């Protein structure tokens, strides 16, 4: 079975005067090791789809199966636990804890998982070295550039040893050189460790790197193009 399987998922937001159908009967499969971009105009459903795949939102109808588990049947506390152990997140706004050092930010998710201190510290240090920030372990986010903060966010996303990483507009706040450097890092992680990345993006820099491009329009899959095979 596919790593991620979306079966006839519809999402309707009905808290407004006119209900909004953000997703319309979406069917989608994503295999382990993909480097996939979900694209489309604003309001096409990209972020909604990513949030549903990540268990941050639930579908109005349909099923979301991750690692052979139908998470669309889960209660909120079950979703929290599933996300903690299975899914890594990288957000546009970094979402680092400002009073924590780089190392403490990466460690935090492992603390929630219940890992012992020695194991947390070892893995956090290894991950920060892997993203090129081994010399910044004791710096707080305010002491780092946007690109460095986003690299910490990538290290944090990998800290839980997730099945895949969801990245929502991860390059939106970065200049071209920094974005390219971050994408180089993600591509290397994909190639060397078969880490699955799913992006929601408007950024042509991300789109040009993607192995597969899924285009949404009005909440439905308009095109699904395989650009190159996963290596």
Q: What is the 3-state secondary structure (H, E, C) of 207-231?
A: HCCCCEEEEEECCEEEEEEECCCCC
Q: DSSP 3-state assignment of 1?
A: coil
* Alpha-carbon dihedral angle through residues 77, 33, 174, 149, given to the nearest 10 degrees: 50
The domain 35-50+85-226 having CATH identifier 3.40.50.10240: the answer here is no
What contacts 107, CB < 8 A, 6 or more positions away?
120, 121, 124, 159
User: Residue 230 has what pLDDT?
Assistant: 65
Sheet holding 164-168, edge to edge: 87-91, 164-168, 196-200, 35-39, 212-217, 220-226
User: Residue 93 has what pLDDT?
Assistant: 85
User: Residue 231 has what pLDDT?
Assistant: 58
Q: What is the mean pLDDT of each run of 10 residues along the chain (231 residues)?
A: 94 87 96 96 92 94 95 93 94 91 95 94 94 94 94 93 94 89 92 94 94 96 87 58
The tokens describing 144, both together, are: 């780092």
Q: DSSP 3-state assignment of 3?
A: coil
What's the CA gap between 26 and 169, in Å, rounded?
21
The tokens describing 164, both together, are: 């895949």
Conformational region of residue 128, where left means phi above 0, alpha means psi within -120 to 50, and beta covers everything else: alpha
């Amino acid at each position: 079975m596919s790593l991620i399987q979306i079966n006839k998922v519809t999402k309707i937001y009905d808290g407004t005067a006119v209900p909004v159908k953000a997703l319309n009967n979406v069917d989608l499969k994503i295999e382990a090791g993909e480097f996939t971009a979900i694209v489309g105009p604003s309001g096409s459903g990209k972020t909604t789809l990513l949030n549903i795949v990540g268990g941050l939102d639930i579908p109005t109808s349909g099923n979301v199966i991750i690692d052979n588990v139908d998470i669309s049947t889960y209660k909120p506390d079950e979703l929290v636990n599933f996300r903690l152990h299975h899914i890594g997140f990288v957000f546009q706004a970094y979402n680092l804890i400002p009073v924590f050092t780089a190392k403490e930010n990466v460690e935090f998710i492992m603390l929630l998982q219940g890992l012992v201190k020695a194991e947390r510290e070892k893995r956090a240090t290894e991950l920060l070295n892997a993203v090129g920030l081994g010399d910044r372990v004791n710096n707080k986010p305010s002491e780092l550039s946007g690109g460095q903060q986003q690299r910490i966010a990538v290290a944090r996303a990998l800290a839980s040893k997730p099945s895949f990483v969801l990245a929502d507009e991860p390059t939106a706040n970065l200049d071209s050189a920094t974005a390219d450097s971050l994408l180089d890092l993600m591509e290397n992680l994909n190639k060397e460790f078969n880490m699955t990345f799913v992006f929601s993006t408007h950024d042509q820099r991300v789109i040009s790197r993607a192995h597969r491009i899924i285009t949404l329009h009005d909440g439905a899959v308009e095109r699904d193009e395989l650009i190159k095979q996963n290596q």
